[in-house]
Amino acid sequence: MPGEGQGMQGARHLCRFDVRAGRACGDCERAWWRAARLLYEGMILLRVPFAFLVFGLVGLLGSSSRIRAAEVAGGEFKVVANLAYKSGAGLSEYEQQRCKLDLVLPVGRTNFATLVWFHGGGLTGGSKSEGFAKQLARAFGVAVAAANYRLSPQATYPAYVEDAAAAVAWVHGNIGAHGGDTNLVFVGGHSAGAYLTSMVGLDVRLLAKHGLGAGTLAGLIPVSGQTMTHFTVRTERGLGKNNLTADEAAPIYYVRAETPPMLMIMGDNDWPARAEENQYFVAAMKVAGNQRVTYRQFADRTHGTIGSKLVEAGDPAGDVIRAFLDECRKGRVGGGK
């Protein structure tokens, strides 16, 4: 075994960089020259063009740097992650952990629309995804606020609904500081997130707690959500998962003539009775005199793919959402009360 000062000397050497001279110590310079000579001689023997290898390494390193920059900046968007949308001494540890959102903001733009997006997961699982939020922002040309919320059974109704309302209120109160238009705040989500979307937009008490009216919202985009009392809420109350109820925890409970514009998206191969549940909601809205609800169902889409494919180029549901956003931008068409 070599001792210090013998075979391991080079590995243990700490370079004393000469700041005034702007160069490394003599030992390091000689080591670098020896390594460079060996590398050059090796390439000659292997007939590898030196310039080709050098430029290849430079290109690889440059590409790696660009990839890292894109990941940090999100391309034409930037990400501000894990912003707490609830504060105060009375918050539980779990509440502090879950009540956060990511902002995906367009770079170099102002007066942009913002989509608050709630993930799915049956109110018992799931989490905000920075990657999917970026895809939503690029697909629809808006800022996106992807929010987490408390989950059952650690929390029960109305905790997650109140969290969703708090997230929307936070975005409305803060997006202006990031360049967004507070008159163009949309709310959307998939599955359980769609249920939260409808509840926040229809139960006026939720936003009223934050000093906001339902007309605050530019539009609602529930994708494959429940309009009856959510099955997780029914489970929490000791009811059967399939025992349909429509009480204060159901979006359909708040049917009325004046609401924010709603675009309800469904797949043709969704879970049993999910499409019919949404269709009944739309029918009830029309009976109430509401002309702001649009229902669209798309072929070859399951409960999962109706949400995941929204961000893909040419997706028909995504195209309809873009048209809806554009229509609502134009003077806040059909702003609810």
Eight-state DSSP code of residue 229: S
User: Is 11 inside any structural domain?
Assistant: no
Tell me the average pLDDT across 69-86. 73
* 134, 74 Cβ separation under 8 angstroms: yes
What is the tens place of the pLDDT at every residue in 254-293? Answer: 999 999 999 999 999 999 999 999 999 999 999 999 999 9
pLDDT of res. 250: 99
Residues 6+ apart with CB under 8 A from 198: 220, 222, 225, 227, 251, 262
26 plus 111 within the same structural domain: no
Supply the pLDDT for residue 334: 40
For 88-108, the pLDDT digits (tens) are 999 999 999 999 999 999 999
The answer to whether residues 34 and 149 belong to one domain is no
Q: Which pTM was predicted? A: 0.78
Residues 91, 160 within the same domain:
yes
One domain, residues 114 and 221: yes
State whether 49 and 168 are in the same domain: no
**Are 241 and 175 contained in the same domain?**
yes
282-329 pLDDT, tens digit per residue, is: 999 999 999 999 999 999 999 999 999 999 999 999 999 999 999 999
In this structure, the answer to whether residues 52 and 82 fall within a common structural domain is no
Domain with 55 in it: 17-71
DSSP-assigned states of every residue in 16-63? --BTTTTB--HHHHHHHHHHHHHHHHHHHHHT--HHHHHHHHHHHHHH
CATH of the domain at 325: 3.40.50.1820
The more confident residue out of 23 and 148 is 148
Cβ atoms of 188 and 197 closer than 8 Å:
yes
**Residue 242 belongs to some domain of the structure:** yes
Q: Are residues 41 and 153 in the same domain?
A: no
Q: Does 159 share its domain with 92? A: yes
- Into how many domains does the chain fold? 2
Task: Verify that 257 and 305 share a domain, yes or no.
Answer: yes
pLDDT per residue over 206-259, tens digit each?
999 999 987 899 999 999 999 999 999 999 999 988 889 999 999 999 999 999
In a shared domain, residues 318 and 200: yes
Task: Summarize the confidence of residues 74-101 as an average pLDDT.
Answer: 93
* Cα(93)–Cα(96) distance, integer angstroms: 5
Whether 45 maps to a domain, the answer reads yes
156/166 Cα distance (integer angstroms): 16
Distance between CA 313 and CA 318 in Å, rounded? 8
